[in-house]
Amino acid sequence: MSNPIRPLAIRMHADDNVAIIANDGGLPAGTIMQGGPATGITLRDKVPQGHKVALKDIAAGQAVLRYNVPVGFAREAIAAGSWVHERLLDIPPARELQGLPMATQPAPAWTPLDGYTFEGYVNADGSVGTRNLLAITTTVQCVAGVLKVAVDRIERELLPLYPNVDGVVGLEHSYGCGVAIDAPGAEIPIRTLRNISLNPNFGGEVMVVSLGCEKLQPSRLLPPGSFPIHSDDTMGREAEQEPDLVCLQDDAHVGFMSMIDNVLAHAKPHLERLNARKRQTVPASALVVGVQCGGSDAFSGVTANPAVGYMADLILRAGGTVMFSENTEVRDAVEQLTSRAATPQVAQDVVRELGWYDQYLDRGRVDRTANTTPGNKAGGLSNIAEKAMGSIIKSGSGAIASVLAPGDKLKADQKGLVFAATPASDFICGTLQLAAGMNVHVFTTGRGTPYGLQACPVVKVATRSDLARRWHDLMDFNAGQIADGDMTIEEAGWALFRMLLETASGKRTWAEHWKLHNALVLFNPAPIT
């Protein structure tokens, strides 16, 4: 006879009046809780895994506390042992952006972490790539189909000749024409595209495919001096002044194949230079890590995100850079951000970006309950206030050194913990972090996603062991081991840190193995004409 499963509940703070059920598949009504914060409580309802159970009677209107923070107010009386789901809760109002603590929290007194390295590609501007990729950027969606055909041929015919090149990335997007290109807000998608082309994983080897008649002309996307150009003067332009350009409307093109052949001819010198590059040992301080996703279930703030936060602190101690983002998912923890700012000016920059985003959402009359998603709710997250508390943990405990507006790129002297302001949409956030200059990406998930980026390796972290087992060839790390008692948060943080160094040195992630990647999705707050 097998041993009965021990009911497990996890409480985040001693003053919380709810805990989450940790058992795979949840627990049925009538279960008597044994051990831990819910000891002696009999479940009045079936409670799914990751969902909240009331540890005591909660009166109507009373705050439901998780992380010792109100994540909702009871719409009706909730008895101890009840399933506390989103239909029983009113969302707390968002914190005002006035009267916040500004740079009040001292930075941690850390011992520097020396001696950690990885094998990367050193670029002329001092940045370091973790992959050796050719970028072919586009000025307009009209050329996307042509580019796809050209990229397929480059991969099939040329890449085998250049074994040191990791791949070719077609930076296609849905912008460039039919847009109010001079309107307020249009600068965001334009600088996003420009700065993605400057991502360290491309090493300055970027060419452009344009149509010719679009609003977003190549000189506007990549003005002279954006980066050194090594192309021959084939189109009457001075070398080193303008991007290496293939214009499909050029009179020299007769027929579709001449366009494709021209793209391939332009690609060859770039591939030759990329192929001559070699990995070299660089300090871990060259890491620029983007961390993303508030997590799609209630375990995110218990397992994956705390582990990522510990990892983030290790990277900062090693002198590296960590970017966290997602305005919506951190907005309800704004006082934590402003208090952790390194200076009052950085705190003001946080307020500036979140205030701008508040106004942007107000223009669309956005309902705050639109986030969390149905998948988030199924995973136990009742609303955005609860999600924010678990999301912010992945930024670790370091002082926020700087703030980036959407589409901005890190400057050479910007190191440490960076708040890169982005919408919470996974695909837009990833796109904007690429523009900011990340060279490796960490993505946490509780419900599961095959998410990937072609321009940057993505390490996916599962919040639950059940997900890691079922998606064993999609998840790179199982943070569910923390809830299982097989690993501490500290041990998981160190394991992730070492995995990032291996990934940055060329070890493929599962998304790279299967060649999974999502489209670039631009954030465009300007009107469409």
Whose CA is closest to 144, among 171, 111, 172, 125? Answer: 172
Task: Provide Rg for the chain, Cα atoms.
Answer: 25
Note the pLDDT of residue 302.
87
Q: Is the pLDDT of residue 231 over 50?
A: no
Q: Mind giving me the DSSP string for 431-455?
A: HHHHHHT-SEEEEEESS-----BTT
Distance CA 357, CA 97 (A): 12
Distance CA 415, CA 403 (A): 11
In order of their start, the domains of the chain are: 1-90 (2.30.130.110), 118-275 (3.40.50), 298-454+470-504 (no CATH)
Q: Which of the two residues, 235 and 414, has the higher pLDDT score?
A: 414
Note the pLDDT of residue 238.
45
Distance CA 293, CA 400 (A): 18
Which residues, 6+ apart, have CB-to-CB distance to 141 below 8 Å?
Answer: 172, 173, 174, 175, 176, 177
State in Å, rounded, how far the first CA of the chain is from the last one: 70
Note the pLDDT of residue 241.
53
* pLDDT tens track for 353-401: 999 999 999 988 887 777 777 877 777 777 777 777 778 889 999 999 9
**Given pLDDT bands bounded at 50, 70 and 90, which one contains residue 228?**
low
**Given pLDDT bands bounded at 50, 70 and 90, which one contains residue 239?**
very low
Q: Is the pLDDT of residue 233 over 70?
A: no
Across 301-322, b (16+ Cβ under 10 Å) vs e yields bbbbbbbbbbbbbbbbbbbbbb
Phi/psi for 353 (5° steps) reads -70, -40
Q: Which two tokens stand for residue 31?
A: 């279960």
CB 120 within 8 A of CB 279: yes
Distance CA 328, CA 354 (A): 9
Q: Is the pLDDT of residue 236 over 60?
A: no
User: Which of 389-393, 401-405, 472-476 has the least mean pLDDT?
Assistant: 389-393
**What residues form DSSP beta bridges with 170?**
136
Note the pLDDT of residue 232.
43
Whose CA is closest to 481, among 322, 289, 306, 314? Answer: 306
Q: Which of the two residues, 68 and 129, has the higher pLDDT score?
A: 129
* Average of per-residue pLDDT across 229-234: 42
**Given pLDDT bands bounded at 50, 70 and 90, which one contains residue 38?**
very high
* pLDDT tens track for 434-457: 999 999 999 999 889 999 999 999
**Given pLDDT bands bounded at 50, 70 and 90, which one contains residue 300?**
confident
Note the pLDDT of residue 414.
93
Distance CA 163, CA 392 (A): 41
Q: Is the pLDDT of residue 74 over 80?
A: yes
Distance CA 353, CA 158 (A): 44
Q: Which of the two residues, 60 and 297, has the higher pLDDT score?
A: 60
Q: Which two tokens stand for residue 345?
A: 């000016």
Surface-to-core class of residue 242, CB atoms within 10 Å of its CB (0-12 exposed, 13-18 middle, 19+ buried): buried
CB 155 within 8 A of CB 165: no
- pTM here is 0.91
Q: Which of the two residues, 227 and 400, has the higher pLDDT score?
A: 400
Note the pLDDT of residue 229.
44
Q: Which two tokens stand for residue 383?
A: 């609303």
Q: Is the pLDDT of residue 3 over 90?
A: no
Q: Which two tokens stand for residue 185?
A: 């807000």
Q: Which of the two residues, 96 and 243, has the higher pLDDT score?
A: 96
The owner of tokens 């307009």 is 140
* pLDDT tens track for 146-192: 999 999 999 999 999 999 999 999 999 999 999 999 999 999 999 99
Note the pLDDT of residue 411.
94
Note the pLDDT of residue 296.
67
Q: Which of the two residues, 374 and 55, has the higher pLDDT score?
A: 55
Q: What is the mean pLDDT of the chain?
A: 92
Angle (CA) 264-190-326 rounded to 5° is: 110
**Given pLDDT bands bounded at 50, 70 and 90, which one contains residue 4?**
low
Distance CA 430, CA 407 (A): 11
Q: Mind giving me the DSSP string for 87-122?
A: GGEEPPPPPPSSS---S-SPPP-PPP--S-EEEEEE
Q: Is the pLDDT of residue 240 over 60?
A: no
